[in-house]
Amino acid sequence: MSAHNESILREPLITGENITYSKITDDILAPVENKPNKAWWIGFTVAALFALLWVVSISYTFWTGLGAWGLNKTVGWAWDITGFVWWVGIGHAGTLISAVLLLFRQNWRNSINRSAEAMTIFAVICAATYILAHLGRVWLAYWCFPLPNQFGSLWVNFNSPLIWDVFAISTYFSVSLVFWYTGLLPDIATVRDRAAGLRRRIYSVLSFGWNGSVKTWQRFEAVSLILAGVSTPLVLSVHTIVSFDFATSLEPGWHTTIFPPYFVAGAIFSGFAMVQTLLLIARKVMKCENYITMFHIESMNKVIIVTGSIVGVAYLTELFIAWYSGVEYEQYAFLNRVSGPYWWAYWTMMTCNVISPQLFWFKKIRTSVMASWILSIVVNIGMWFERFVIIVTSLHRDYLPSSWVMFYPSVVDVCLFIGSIGVFFTLFLLFLRVLPGIAIAEVKLILKSSSHQEKQKLIREQKVDTEHAEFYQKSLIKYDSVSQPEYVNA
């Protein structure tokens, strides 16, 4: 894989002139080795302020109890579980990029996997805070684990999906963390060997003494492959189990077998949208246009359109099956979603998730940085509403009309949600400062096979078909990191 034979027809994964191995190191480590620029400080300050808001609102929740939220007797799950599922879903794209795309040998993952994995970890942290907060008495969180009766409870109920969720989310978090950190070791070693003084000491501890010998790399590759192999079913199982939290109940609108695939598709959909939101900014601020190219952006947009369409089909299937089932509670649940008091949430969801991603069928839109970024935000909003619709509209009017209520979020609910976004961005911005945001070793791996300069060299040396060469040159039109005359004349 180091050097050989990639078809000239494939678009380049690395653009730019005179890219050498040392230039890759310099470029990627620039944000780590230099003082942060103004954009970073502005972003960090804003994010940290919101994170502070989170600290205040979560502290207030712990202090007063769940009464601080807008929950009531009928709607016992609302913004918190919506936030939880939203964040867990966002996290899934990281694992998908790092594991599934590795198994499928998609080399374009190499420059986006690191930051996507970091995103996974931070998103799962945000998700976990909701779950812990929703326990009410967070200091008794260890009751979720199977502890003997002397602790004051029976064994946990292993027949309950909520307990499966405890195991799934904690396994997912810890395995993702290990996967991410193992992948980071060679890159931390790179930082270490270029640093001096205290920085070197710190990175030396963090690098675990990595030295890049043959045997180390060989075992490293084995570990990466096996971890990818186990993470793939893991990521599917996690969101499947999250959907079981709903699907195994008897609540109209939740009790459906379509939930696992529908949730998994939704998770990938929202995750890729969040990767897009973050990376489009990061590539600009970190000046990584040569490594995260238009091909990467377009590929992610294609994943978004596929998963968005799957989600759309799932919505329609749900509607059809509700009608076809003949169960009046099920039918009412969906009628209420579409035209009840929360109709605006349902139609926001439909517009943001099903209709607007279809714009990516147009090549102009899918290869435009601005349009991709705006649509990624739209998808994020839509997926938040999806979870809100599923949770709140099912609960607020289920069986007994005498218990029907509306849900109104409290100020704390809102602050907690906005704050968790702040926590996420604070962590992500810190990550970009202290650790390489792109997997250096993995980008080096594809330099000789998939870079623009190597392909140009092949064309100059006339080693490829002229027709193929022309096709290749034409495919470069969409790249914003390749200047126009370069391909017109070549």
Of these, 182, 317, 410, 453, which contacts other proteins (CB under 8 A)? 182
**Which residue do the tokens 């709140």 mark?**
392
3-state SS class at 405: coil
Which of 34, 159, 257, 466 contacts other proteins by CB under 8 A? Answer: 159
- Nearest-approach distance from CB 24 to other proteins, in angstroms: 8
Residues 431-460, one symbol each (x = binds other proteins by CB under 8 A, - = not), give: ---------xxx-xx--x------------
The CA distance from 405 to 385, in Å, is 19
Q: Assess 207 for contact with other proteins (CB under 8 A).
A: yes
Residue 155 beta carbon to other proteins: minimum distance, rounded to whole angstroms: 4
CA distances 39 to 50, 281, 330, 403, 430, Å, are 17, 10, 50, 50, 13
Of 92, 114, 134, 192, the one binding other proteins by CB under 8 A: 192
Q: How far is the CB of 145 from other proteins (least distance, A)?
A: 11
Q: Does 114 bind other proteins (CB under 8 A)?
A: no
Strands (E) across 226-368 are located at none
Near other proteins by CB under 8 A, which window of 98-106, 210-218, 312-320, 430-438? 210-218
Positions in 329-368 near other proteins (CB under 8 A): none
Site for other proteins in 232-261 (CB under 8 A): 233-234, 237, 241, 244
Q: How far is the CB of 421 from other proteins (least distance, A)?
A: 28
Cα(104)–Cα(97) distance, integer angstroms? 10
Name the minimum Å distance from CB 232 to other proteins: 10
Query: Cα dist. 78→51, 131, 392 in Å?
Result: 21, 12, 6
Among 218, 249, 358, 484, binds other proteins (CB under 8 A): 218
Q: Which neighbouring-strand residues pair with 451? A: 14
Residue 406: φ, ψ to 5°: -110, 155
Tokens of 91: 């996290």
Looking at the Cβ atoms of 25 and 82, the one nearer to other proteins is 25
- Can you read off the two tokens belonging to residue 394? 């099912």
Q: Which is nearer to other proteins, 130 or 179 (CB)?
A: 179
Judged by beta carbon, residue 65 or residue 233, the one nearer other proteins is 233
Per CB under 8 A, 21 contacts other proteins: yes
Of 90, 79, 158, 77, the C-alpha closest to 124 is 90
Per CB under 8 A, 103 contacts other proteins: no
**CA 8 – CA 193 distance, rounded (Å):** 36
By CB under 8 A, which span of 41-49, 226-234, 317-325, 408-416 interacts with other proteins? 226-234
The answer to whether residue 227 forms part of the interface with other proteins (CB under 8 A) is: yes
Q: In this chain, which of 11, 13, 25, 282 binds other proteins, going by CB under 8 A? A: 25
Other Cβ atoms less than 10 A from the Cβ of 373: the count is 17
Binding range to other proteins, per CB under 8 A, among 147-155, 352-360, 421-429, 469-477: 147-155
Handedness of CA 426, 427, 430, 431 (dihedral sign): negative
**Rg of the chain taking only CA atoms, in angstroms:** 24
Neighbouring C-beta atoms of residue 223, cutoff 10 Å: 14
Dihedral of CA 158/164/165/166: which sign? positive
Single-letter residue type at 342: Y
Nearer to other proteins, 228 or 395 (CB): 228
**8 A C-beta contact, residue 156 and residue 163:** yes
DSSP string, 251-269: -TTT--TTHHHHHHHHHHH
For other proteins, the closer CB: 216 or 403: 216
Candidates 208, 404, 408, 471: give the one binding other proteins (CB under 8 A).
208
Under DSSP, the state recorded for 137 is S
Instruction: Rank residues 22 and 466 by Cβ distance to other proteins and give the closer one.
Output: 22
Q: Rounded distance, CA 371 to CA 282, Å?
A: 16
Place of tokens 């090549």: 363
Q: Does 167 bind other proteins (CB under 8 A)?
A: yes
- The residue assigned the tokens 């003494």 is 209
Taking CB under 8 A as the binding criterion, the range among 88-96, 166-174, 365-373, 422-430 that sits at the site for other proteins is 166-174
Nearer to other proteins among residue 192 and residue 455 (C-beta): 192
* Binding region for other proteins (CB under 8 A): 1-3, 20-22, 25, 146, 149, 154-156, 158-159, 161, 163-164, 167-168, 171, 174-175, 178-179, 182, 185-186, 189-190, 192-194, 204-223, 226-227, 230-231, 233-234, 237, 241, 244, 440-442, 444-445, 448
